[in-house]
Structure 1
Amino acid sequence: MTGSEEPPTFRLAYVPGVTPDKWVRIWNERLPDVPLTLTQVPAAEAGGVLLAGDADAGLVRLPVDRTALSAIPLYTETTVVVIPKDHLVTAADEVTVEDHLADEIVLHPLDDVLGWERPPGRPAFERPATTADAVELVAAGIGVLLVPLSLARLHHRKDLTYRTVTDAPGSSVALSWPEDAHTDRVEDFIGIVRGRTVNSTRGRQPAQAPRKGERTEAAPTRRKQAAGKQTGGARRGAGGTPKSGGRDGGKSGSGKGARRGRPRRG
């Protein structure tokens, strides 16, 4: 790399609620010469950011366009309902949509990430533009809000609390990148989020054992070594006498008189 070239970087996009701090720290320890830059993007725009080449990979919320993006699911978040601290629902540790929220006004922001087929409860007069706006409406006593736990913590307020909703859909977080841009740097980050060690083969397939009847590279060498032991000199009999390797089994050159048997009578 010449002095005029910029150092290589890895650009990671992430959506609100996701905290990549641990993985970033490991990256900086393992690849100190490759700066990692973070960019927070709205959940609905994450796929477009990756496809436009504005990030090398992203921590996104599923689903994504699997015809153009690869994705590795990482975890699924618990869904909670955000409510005022004096709300009746706070009497329970866990709630259900059917038993506790059916009569509530449930706010459904335009950036909702839970993917409801049909939002629960009673609809509000107007949909809030963002989750942050919906939280403000909850604080004003206008309704309640269902979100992944991380978003409830992200928008925490002292006058609000939350309870787990056991029958609501969850939100899954995944590592995603364009299918045609699976680079070595992307593979490095995959290894980090999957917990691979620094000495990992980074997903390379280990050498497979040969199938039965299949020759290996070492087999000819072993056969040559074995043959060398047999033919590396004349085979020796008892007492170190050389034996011939001919068909007569050592009889040739010994003369007729060497044959054993009963003597002929004269």
Structure 2
Amino acid sequence: MLRLSFATGTEPGKWFTRYREYTSHELATADADDALADVLAGSADLALARVPEAGDPRIDDTFHMVRLYDEAPGIAVPKDHILAEMGETVNPADVADEIVNYRIPDTGVVDVQAVRDALQIVAANVGIVVAPRPLLKVLSKRQVVPLALADAPSAPSPRTFIALVWRKEDDGEVIQDFVGIARGRTPNSSRTDTKKKSARAKSLAKQARRTGAVKGKKSVSKQTLLKRKKGSQRGKRR
């Protein structure tokens, strides 16, 4: 069985479905604010983790890490805010006077619970929240609108990315099959345990198709000859 912990704000449902369809491995999943912490605690084998662009000091050379995609920064505003009505990318200058309830720190380490708490204040029509946009999309309620946030030329927002992280000592087929699926491999190209024909089996199948085709041609040829023979005999009787 593969025990996988995925970071809040990620939506890996399609990977879970494909993993169950393409392999015979059992899969147990759990949503976590800090997916890597579950691997460190031994309650998960694989983490779909949010990692600061500068790196996570907990990920040392005893771990494997596969970077999957980058997260763009976003901003959450009250639904009645003029920016929410415009629905466009927000420039930092447009919210320079707003109360900031939460902002991604310079370390890039996102405190998901702090984001939740800050969004409750935004829902009360007070201030804004700056966090990874995928996280804001998942956590925002009806009273909050998540939007794209442009970088300030002098102070760009710290970046985060999503990666698969696991201990090297735990590496194996069960984990590698999921890594392959997350990286876009299909049943024909991924390292799944689906049975595939060997080169010899493929060769024998090809020969069988050829033999069948030849037999079919011979059968047709005999029928044609018989028809011709009968036709010639009728002509002689006349």
TM range (shorter): 0.5 to 0.7
CA distance in 1: counterparts of 2:21 and 2:181, whole angstroms: 11
Q: Which of the numbers 52, 57, 60 marks the counterpart of 2:41?
A: 52
Question: Cα RMSD between the aligned structures?
Answer: 2.5
Following superposition of structure 1 onto structure 2, how do residues 55-204 of structure 1 map, counting pairs within 5 Å?
A: 55-62=44-51, 63-64=55-56, 65-67=58-60, 68-90=62-84, 91=86, 93-97=88-92, 99-108=93-102, 114-116=104-106, 130-167=114-151, 168-200=157-189, 202=191
> Of residues 6, 12, 22 in structure 1, which corresponds to 2:14?
22
Per-residue CA distance 1:49-96 (angstroms, 9 max, x = gap): 212321111110013333132211111122221111222333461122
Please tell me the residue identity of whatever aligns with 1:12: L
Q: Number of aligned residue pairs: give it.
A: 179
- The corresponding residue for 2:26 is 35
- CA distance in structure 1 between the partners assigned to 2:170 and 2:75 by the alignment: 38
Identity, % of aligned positions: 30
Query: How far apart are 1:128 and its partner, in Å?
Result: 9.9
The structure richer in helix per residue is 2
User: Does the C-alpha gap of structure 1 residues 128 and 103 become closer, same or farther in structure 2, counting only changes over 3 Å?
Assistant: farther
The 3 A distance-change label for structure 1 pair 38 and 96 is same
Aligned residue type for 1:40: D
Give the Cα–Cα distance (whole angstroms) in 1 for the partners of residues 173 and 78 of structure 2. 48
In 2 relative to 1, CA 61–159 (structure 1 residues): closer, same or farther, beyond 3 Å?
same
The one-letter code of the counterpart of 2:106 is W
- Deviation sequence 1:210-257 (CA, Å, 0-9, x none): xxxxxxxxxxxxxxxxxxxxxxxxxxxxxxxxxxxxxxxxxxxxxxxx
Instruction: Write the letter of the residue equivalent to 1:31.
Output: T
> Alignment partner of 2:36: what SS?
helix
Distance (whole Å) between structure 2 residues aligned to residue 55 and residue 196 of structure 1: 23
Contact 1:107–1:128 (CA under 8 A) maintained in structure 2: no
Query: 5 Å matches for 1:210-225?
Result: none
Match of 1:12 in 2: 4
* Cα distance, 1:101 vs structure 2: 2.4
Which segments of structure 1 move beyond 4 Å, counting only runs of 4 or more?
none
Letter paired with 2:11: T
Instruction: Give the CA deviation at 1:129.
Output: 5.2
The alpha-carbon deviation at position 162 of structure 1 amounts to 2.5
Distance 1:133 1:201, change over 3 A: closer
- Taking a change above 3 Å as real, the CA distance of residues 84 and 196 of structure 1, as seen in their structure-2 partners, is same
Distance 2:190 2:131 in 1: 39
Return the structure number with greater relative CO, CA threshold 8 A, min gap 6: 2
Structure 1: runs of 5 or more not aligned: 1-8, 119-126, 203-266
1:66 match: secondary structure: coil
In the alignment, the residues of structure 2 paired with residue 52 and residue 199 of structure 1 have an alpha-carbon distance, to the nearest angstrom, of 35
Distance 2:47 2:142 in 1: 31
Which shows bigger deviation, 151-160 or 76-85?
151-160
In 2, Cα distance between the equivalents of 1:192 and 1:117?
Answer: 30
Cα distance change of structure 1 residues 199 and 89 upon mapping to structure 2, 3 Å threshold: closer
Gaps of 5+ in 2: 152-156, 192-238
Amino acid at match of 1:21: G
Q: Kindly tell me: are residues 58 and 129 of structure 1, through their superposed partners in 2, closer, same or farther at Cα, counting changes over 3 Å?
A: closer
CA–CA distance in structure 2, aligned partners of residues 41 and 132 of structure 1: 13
Following the alignment from structure 1 to structure 2, what is the Cα–Cα distance between the partners of residues 157 and 165?
19
